[in-house]
Amino acid sequence: MPTKARKTVILFLAAVTAWPMAAHAGELVTLRNGFVQRCDHHAQVEGRVRLYLSAGEDNYIEFAPEEISKVDFIADPPAPAAEQPAAKPAAKLTAADLHEMLAAAGSAHNLDVDLLASVVKAESDGNAQAVSRAGAQGLMQLMPQTAAELGVQNSFQPDENVRGGSAYLDALLTRYNNNLALALAAYNAGPAAVDKYHGIPPYRETRIYVARVIHEFNRRVLAREAQAKRAVVATGEDPARQ
């Protein structure tokens, strides 16, 4: 039976090796388009603002000064989410509950449930209380400002987070003409970065993220197809006569 989910290009990418992420303080740079970029430090060079993604001087991205709204210093990693009132409900979230949420969101936004599950796995590994070093929250790791724009009042509530994250991914797929790789890159690094480089930005983190999500999506789709074939064999039905 043909699926009603949005037809996306499934890319089989070569495996890449992850690298350790430094756990030191840095800066959060808010752009005027709303995107927030974490960096180690910044400096103004030849009229441009360079955001250095590591302690050295080799890995950086540049913006015009007028593109930057503010720069906040990160004194320490975000505090544990124990103070969040949603901690107890999140602990009770089962795989069946999560699948039901993803299925409902996928139906609402015409997205493959396995694609949403792959994003959740890459973003939080199913931890509804996850908080990144940059401050992204919940199952689909929404930045507070993005969550607010999506109407998400509490990113630590799994159903709200999934609803907001799915709506955001849907909008990105529409923006990039259903190009899954570009939509995922924008989900990770922000649309401004994708538009700036006219493709997947040359950030190692973003490239690894895109490859990781697509690899997991491919794995889930192949497993689903294999299960469907086993079901046909078990029932003795000939799909050619369907």
Which residues are catalytic, by number?
123
CA dihedral 208, 210, 212, 217 (to 10 degrees): -170
**104-143 core/surface letters (b: 16 or more CB in 10 A; e: else):** ebbeebebbbbbbbbbbbbbbeeebbbbebebbbbbbbbb
Query: Given the DSSP bridges, would you call strands 48-52 and 36-39 parallel, antiparallel or unpaired?
Result: unpaired
Specify whether the CB–CB gap between 93 and 158 falls below 8 A.
yes
